[in-house]
Structure 1
């Protein structure tokens, strides 16, 4: 079973952004969200991941099937690279971190404390965390921030391997990850129709 989103409406800070968003992802599929800054890409991803409630509509997927990666890397700064991955593997009940270290080019950095990594190295470690969750649906918000060209290519390979293994990916990114088969969803077509000012239907402090 994959991910199905039906007539989803979502808001940020009481301000309606999107409505009637519908799409589905099955094993091996990726979908890239597009649209200008502020159109609701992050809000949609957070809603799909269950981090905030929807205004309307439904998100259907198996329980505990989504791994979410946002702008924060989610690292324990005093732990080493290997300890960070081992921690998350234990949290998710999975085994082994070797593949994540190898595929995200972290093997040589395994004993180094996360606080001593560069921004790009921290980002690679944060993304490697996805690989030890064991979860089939990756929800990614601008995953390549702080990555150089070589690291973007590495992550593209990781996503392709995830899809080849039956995984799924929903992402907001303006970077080409080398996924020609990925679908594109333009969120500008789902912008919410706003009520007139003074109607009391949303918090005008966020306008």
Structure 2
């Protein structure tokens, strides 16, 4: 699906971030900068704070020290789409109902045609009217990818985006990432697996 260009310039800058969990230091002195069209891969062993760093960038977790600045042209809000490791689907809702709910939260398209197109792009259009509880793990992950298509936000934060995806699913993710980057978007992904699109830069937490 063609993606309109995002407002520019897009930038994400973190300076000297520090994180604690239960009073125990997890990481400190973390800094990076990212521009539109770039991918940052956050890597490191379990427990080093990869997901915590994503939550910090998303504004869901306050740093002990440091700061994060995000810019997207003159846009003052609605920069980010945070796709967490959990799929965020309500089991009793249909796939369509779940996507409508998330699109309202992220200010994306909520019409049936837009949702069908997004699901078709991720290979899940046939499941549009199924309850989420009927989906496999890989299908639930694809439903999450459809959220990215609908939200049209310039900065993606992805937590273990390839987890639960088969080879075809990884190819779908790679296509979405390339389209997003070509439109000038930026991607930050926490992962312990290889991303389908090579990262522009890598940040290793230890």
Q: TM (normalized to structure 1)?
A: 0.84
Q: Which runs of at least 4 in structure 1 moved beyond 6 Å after TM superposition?
A: none
Residues 14 and 127 of structure 1, relative CA distance in 2, 3 Å threshold: farther
Deviation digits for residues 185-207 of structure 1 (CA, Å, limit 9, x no counterpart): 1123xxxxxxxxxxxxxxxxxxx
| Distance (Å, rounded) in 2 between the aligned partners of 1:168 and 1:61 | 11
- Aligned Cα root-mean-square deviation (Å): 1.6
Residue 19 of structure 2 corresponds to which residue in structure 1?
Answer: 10
**Contact 1:11 1:43 (8 Å CA) reproduced:** no
Deviation at residue 181 of structure 1 after TM alignment: 4.8
Residue 118 (structure 2) pairs with residue 109 (structure 1): no
Which structure has the larger Rg? 1
* Match in the other structure for 2:5: none
* Residue in structure 2 matched with residue 29 of structure 1 by the alignment: 38
Report if aligned partners of 2:173, 2:196 keep a CA contact under 8 Å in 1: no
Superposition pairs of residues 165-204 of structure 1, within 5 angstroms: 165-188=183-206
Residue matched to 2:90: 76
Say which of 102, 106, 111 aligns to 1:88: 102
Cα distance in 1 between the residues matched to 2:138 and 2:22: 31
Deviations 1:32-54 (A, max 9, x none): 01111111111111111111110
After TM superposition, give the deviation of residue 86 of structure 1 in Å. Answer: 2.0
Query: Quick check: 1:160 aligned with 2:178?
Result: yes
Cα separation, 2, equivalents of 1:187 and 1:91:
31
**CA deviation map 1:121-164 (0-9, x unaligned):** 11111232122222111111111221112111111111111111
Q: 1:122 to 1:58 in 2, by over 3 A?
A: same
Gaps of 5+ in 1: 189-207
SS in 2 for 1:2: strand
Q: Mean alpha-carbon deviation: is it higher for 88-97 or for 58-67?
A: 88-97
Q: Which residue of 1 aligns with 2:153?
A: 135
Q: How many residues align?
A: 188
Q: Partner residue of 1:64?
A: 78
